Chain A
């Protein structure tokens, strides 16, 4: 079966500042995510999680390697037809209402009007924004925007959902909502790929995880295999971070 996500030696080196200093965002990432999997990407701040996701979504151009969604190269816009994406902190047109902005996104997916209407109303209700559907987004709180972000990611009932820190900025109720939504999607046979700092959620939701530190893949596999004889994911992550610090102190990196 064609993997939902596939990357081969994917890498990104940024050029920053006037002197075009090189900053490594991601290096040599090789990964396959199968259809129907819930896959978690974890790692400390600056590990390269967002970089990897942005390359997959065609927002950044990779500098090494290649990546495909359902077998189609990420450089091709059509690769994102069956994909829903929630950015790290979603930003929307401030002068539009939630309903308007969702209809706009539906048009970008080429959804016919009747279907758009049905999906928009259903999702607005699902994330408990019905009361605010006709308020402009400028007046929304951070968590409410996050909910609009979830709606637009699920709008066209995609086969692959990519979420960059979907729980950030949400209250406990909102977090439970996201968790339920992800589980629901997985139960429906969809693929979910997301990054998170909330390891307990990752443990509760995911089949497999990948640990990125300093732009490199440190571990990847079933949660049980990755954790192995250690206490939990947190212990594993802290261990990897310490290992990287040691290696760089020794000049290995």
Chain B
């Protein structure tokens, strides 16, 4: 079973790596990171910190873009291109297919984030100093964030076309980054019913800020371990839940 899962994941990774689209996004991302790190024109505030902050932000932004862009057609693309026929007619369960695709996608994203991290490290070392450990911990948490975002994209891609899935995934992405504001705003509401709804929303929808220790990383503070461990547990459990939904939905579908 593990070997079949590996075959599915590896194949997904190989397909992604051979696709030119991946390279165009990656090329662009590396370009932006490089540009943000070599900009000499910034006059406001502490230049070094601004540069570090923009660089880390770019890694996170492009990681998210890549996750959404590739994730929304992860399962749908296979159904649409009918490549799924020759796979699911083999002794492969549908849940295994979804999980294999997801794992392959996470392999792709890991490589992408690693490359961006490498570019960041090289350029920053050349310009300032070698980044402290907390920078890499923050990138690790970014990977957990991408696990969660990708699981949502996978869920949407099991039953809707990429355009619709893109809309939903983007909504989750935006709401997930505003979760703390929803909480703040919600707790100030007058009616108890509205407060309850806001609170329920907060618990159901993801909170991507749980994974964000970039500000601490930029200021080169000590690693906030409770936040890291909490984010890891939250991300793993939440992603697993969303993936289970994706498998359940796909299990019942007809493959056109």
Using a CB–CB cutoff of 8 Å, the interface residues on chain A facing chain B are 14, 54, 57-61, 77-81, 83, 85, 87, 89-93, 95-96, 100, 104-105, 107-110, 149, 152
Would you call B90 and A92 a contact (CB within 8 A)? Answer: no
Cβ of A105: which chain B residues have Cβ within 8 Å of it? 86-87, 90
With A and B bound together, what is the CA distance between A96 and B89 in angstroms? 19
Q: Is B91 a contact of A107 with CB atoms below 8 Å?
A: no
List 18 A-B residue pairs with CB atoms under 8 Å apart, sorted by A's residue number: A14-B254, A57-B88, A60-B255, A77-B92, A79-B91, A80-B91, A85-B85, A87-B82, A87-B85, A90-B85, A91-B81, A95-B14, A104-B11, A107-B3, A107-B7, A108-B90, A109-B90, A109-B91
Is A81 within 8 A of B91, CB to CB? yes
- Are A92 and B88 within 8 A (Cβ)? no
Which of B4, B7, B19, B254 is in CB contact (< 8 Å) with A60? B254
**B93 at the binding interface (Cβ < 8 Å):** yes
- CB of A91 within 8 A of CB of B18, answer no
| Minimum C-beta distance from B3 to chain A (A) | 7
User: In the assembled complex, which residues on chain B have CB atoms less than 8 Å from the CB atom of A91?
Assistant: 81-83, 85-86
Looking at the assembled complex, report how far the CB atom of B75 sits from the nearest CB atom of chain A, in whole angstroms: 14
Residues 4-15 of chain B, each 1 if its beta carbon lies under 8 Å from chain A, else 0: 101110010011
Q: Is the CB of B15 within 8 A of A108?
A: no
Could you say which of A59, A85, A87, A108 has the most chain B C-beta atoms within 10 Å of its C-beta? A108
Q: B86 touching A90 by the CB < 8 A rule?
A: yes
Contact B7 A87 (CB under 8 A): no
A171 to B252 alpha-carbon distance, docked (Å)? 38
Count, A-B residue pairs, CB within 8 A: 79
Mask of B172-187 contacts with A, CB within 8 angstroms, 1/0: 0000000000000000
CB distance from B82 to the nearest CB of A (A): 4
- Beyond A61-B254, A91-B82, A96-B11, 16 additional pairs, beta carbon < 8 A: A14-B254, A57-B88, A58-B88, A58-B89, A91-B81, A91-B83, A93-B15, A93-B83, A95-B15, A95-B19, A96-B15, A96-B18, A105-B87, A108-B4, A108-B91, A110-B3
List B contacts of A80 (CB < 8 A): 89-91
C-alpha spacing A233/B129, complex, angstroms: 82
Least CB distance from B242 to A in Å reads 23
Contact A104 B7 (CB under 8 A): yes
Give the complex CA separation of A105 and B85 in angstroms: 12
- Which of B7, B83, B84, B89 has the most chain A CB atoms closer than 10 A to its own CB? B89
Q: Are A83 and B4 in contact (CB under 8 A)?
A: no
Chain A positions within 8 Å of B90 at CB level: 80, 105, 108-109
